[in-house]
């Protein structure tokens, strides 16, 4: 037997088309030899089956004239970025009429010299060559790339050379924040930011700009507390650079300068301490706070030990004192307890305040039968803190009992009275309840002193004294002013009595006046000038000059 073929290898055929050699081309004069009629299903230039000449003489790689000579074709080149110093994907689509085999990626990375990667297999009639490379770190570098590909018939093709220039992305500096938060009037402020760069460029510069109430201020990273004041609105703006370009300005959120003083809850008030279920009552509490109050709420625990928080509404605002109320309707018979909470605009939480009163809800009494028995009907306005509209200590005791006493600062006041001179006395009422009363003030005797009021000089006057909402624990001060009037009187000390009467309590307040005699009363006497002069000279040693 003879050897009729060599190995499958690249070479030049003596007959038929193709780039691979192996066995022989078997034909005859009529053109129907084995190589003329055999099948080449994969179009590799060889018959699918061997050719058996005689027993033991076999051509294992008989040639055929239908070999694949078409190279792969390419299209749709793309890159997913041009940013310098980043990983960029280079893509190219390949197609072949028979079967793709693989490719080699070639890349110069801005150096001007191509370097080939290792062989990468790919199959099918359509496939992609996808290679990701970290590109040159220099902005503006010209990057070149191309691809070599072949098919299963070893037909090669080389793509055109593609180019792009590396670019830069702007750095970022978010978020921009101000610390501390919350900030008080004694805090130094710091502007904070987080630098980042998609190209991995290092930070090469930063700029700060502070704004106080919308007006540009300092340009350093830190702001001293001496620049800010209570309730100022503060913004910090930051701009950064990556060495190639600057970012845009980015602002922090607005920070409002607050205070460090905790609000104080005190002196709560209840319109009633007992009542009937499904009948509303009002509970209130005072909050001492110099600035804004964020919220005030009351925790009401019912007889079943279920606690629910309710937001309280501002009823009265007076200086540092703020009075908050909540109208609540009990639905269960039993005792209710209360806790109060508050937070100011600076985030300061008040210490919890627990009311010392409880509210007990009962069922309504059923009127008794017979002559005139039954319950007393409470007027609809009972519980508003004002004794009015027919209310009495019987029908509405919580409004009509004034449970305080009138207490003067001192038991006796001594002062000098001169012509048109003014003196006064201070009255302190020690009560934290809610009331609306009239206090009648009287001066005795009525021959010399009178009360000086907006209505003129009177012997007695009625002052309206009311506290319709709770105020701070302590006292209320009321000043009464006296004016000299009446006839001349000898020099000396004279006793007077001032009486305070609220209809329930009566306070008698003694006073002593050191009186200076007037030598001339323009309102009571017409004295000739010569007599007046003689009179003045006669009594001069005893007269205190007015």
Structural domain tally of the chain? Answer: 5
The verdict on residue 211 lying in a domain is yes
Do 315 and 356 lie in one domain? The reply is: yes
Number of neighbouring beta carbons within 10 Å of residue 480: 20
Q: Give the CA-trace dihedral at 118, 123, 129, 134, to 10 degrees.
A: -50
Q: Looking at residue 142, which CATH number applies to its domain?
A: 2.60.40.10
The verdict on residue 17 lying in a domain is yes
User: Which long-range contacts does 248-254 make (Cβ < 8 Å, 24+ apart)?
Assistant: 248/170, 249/209, 250/172, 250/173, 250/174, 250/176, 250/193, 251/176, 252/175, 252/176, 252/177, 252/178, 252/191, 253/177
Evaluate whether 46 touches 61 at the Cβ level (below 8 Å): yes
Statement: the pTM of the whole predicted model exceeds 0.95: no
Do 58 and 128 lie in one domain? The reply is: no
Structural domain of residue 117, as residue ranges? 73-165
Contacts of 78 (CB under 8 A, 6+ apart): 90, 91
Q: Looking at residue 230, which CATH number applies to its domain?
A: 2.60.40
Domain boundary among 26, 45, 67: 67
Q: Please report, in tens digits, the pLDDT of each residue of the chain (546 residues total).
A: 688 999 999 888 888 777 889 999 999 999 899 999 999 888 888 999 999 988 889 999 999 977 777 899 999 999 999 999 999 999 999 999 889 999 999 999 999 999 999 999 999 999 999 999 999 989 999 999 999 999 988 899 999 999 999 999 999 999 999 999 888 888 899 999 999 998 889 999 999 999 999 999 999 999 998 999 988 999 999 999 999 999 999 999 999 898 878 899 988 888 888 888 899 999 999 999 877 889 999 999 999 999 999 999 998 776 788 999 999 999 988 999 999 999 988 888 998 888 666 888 887 554 444 444 433 444 446 666 665 655 555 556 555 554 444 444 333 344 444 333 444 555 555 444 555 567 777 878 776 667 766 666 777 777 666 554 444 334 444 444 554 445 555 666 777 777 777 766 677 767 666 554 443 333 333 333 222 222 222 222 322 222
> Between β-strands 413-417 and 506-515, what pairing exists: parallel, antiparallel or unpaired?
parallel
The verdict on residue 525 lying in a domain is no
The verdict on residue 415 lying in a domain is yes
The verdict on residue 373 lying in a domain is no
């Amino acid at each position: 037997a003879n050897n009729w073929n060599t190995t499958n290898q690249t070479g030049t055929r003596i007959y038929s088309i193709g780039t691979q050699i192996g066995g022989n081309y078997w034909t005859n004069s009529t053109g129907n030899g084995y190589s003329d009629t055999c099948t080449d299903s994969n179009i590799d230039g060889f018959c699918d089956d061997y050719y058996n000449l005689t027993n033991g003489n076999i051509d294992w790689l008989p040639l055929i004239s239908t070999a694949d000579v078409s190279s792969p074709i390419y299209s749709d080149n793309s890159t997913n970025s041009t940013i310098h110093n980043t990983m960029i994907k280079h893509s190219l689509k390949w197609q072949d009429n028979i079967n793709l085999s693989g490719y080699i990626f070639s890349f110069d990375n801005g150096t001007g010299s191509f370097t080939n990667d290792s062989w990468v297999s790919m199959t099918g009639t359509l496939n992609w060559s996808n290679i990701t490379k970290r590109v040159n770190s220099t902005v503006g570098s010209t990057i070149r790339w191309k691809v070599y590909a072949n098919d299963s018939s070893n037909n090669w093709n080389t793509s055109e050379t593609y180019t792009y220039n590396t670019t830069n992305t702007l750095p970022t500096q978010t978020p921009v924040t101000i610390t501390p938060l919350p900030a008080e009037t004694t805090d130094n402020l710091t502007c904070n930011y987080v630098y980042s760069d998609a190209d991995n460029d290092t930070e090469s510069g930063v700029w700060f700009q502070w704004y106080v109430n919308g007006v540009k201020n300092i340009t350093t990273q830190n702001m001293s507390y001496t620049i800010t004041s209570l309730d100022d609105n503060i913004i910090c703006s930051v701009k950064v650079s990556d060495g190639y370009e600057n970012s845009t300005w980015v602002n922090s959120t607005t920070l409002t300068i607050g205070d460090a003083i905790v609000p104080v809850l005190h002196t709560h008030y209840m319109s009633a301490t007992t009542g009937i279920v499904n009948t509303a009552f009002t509970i209130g509490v005072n909050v001492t706070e110099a600035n804004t109050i964020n919220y005030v709420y009351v925790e009401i625990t019912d007889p079943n030990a279920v606690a629910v928080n309710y937001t309280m509404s501002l009823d009265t605002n007076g200086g540092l004192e703020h009075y908050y109320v909540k109208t609540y309707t009990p639905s269960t018979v039993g005792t209710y307890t209360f806790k109060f909470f508050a937070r100011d605009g600076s985030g300061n939480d008040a210490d919890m305040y627990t009311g010392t009163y409880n509210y007990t809800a009962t069922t309504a009494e059923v009127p008794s039968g017979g002559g005139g028995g039954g319950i007393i009907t409470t007027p609809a306005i009972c519980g508003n803190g004002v004794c009015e509209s027919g209310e009495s200590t019987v029908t509405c005791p919580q409004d009509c009992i004034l449970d305080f006493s009138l207490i003067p600062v001192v038991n006796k006041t001594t002062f000098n009275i001169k012509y048109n001179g003014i003196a006064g006395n201070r009255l302190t009422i020690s009560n934290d309840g809610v009331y609306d009363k009239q206090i009648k003030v009287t001066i005795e005797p009525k021959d010399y002193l009178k009360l000086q009021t907006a209505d003129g000089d009177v012997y007695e006057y009625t002052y309206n004294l009311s506290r319709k909402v709770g105020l701070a624990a302590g006292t209320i001060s009321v000043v009464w002013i006296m004016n000299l009037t009446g006839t001349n009187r000898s020099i000396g000390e004279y006793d007077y009595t001032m009486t305070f009467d609220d209809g329930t309590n009566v306070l008698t307040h003694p006073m002593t006046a050191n009186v200076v005699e007037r030598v001339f009363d323009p309102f009571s006497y017409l004295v000739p000038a010569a007599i007046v002069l003689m009179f003045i000279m006669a009594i001069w040693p005893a007269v205190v000059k007015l």
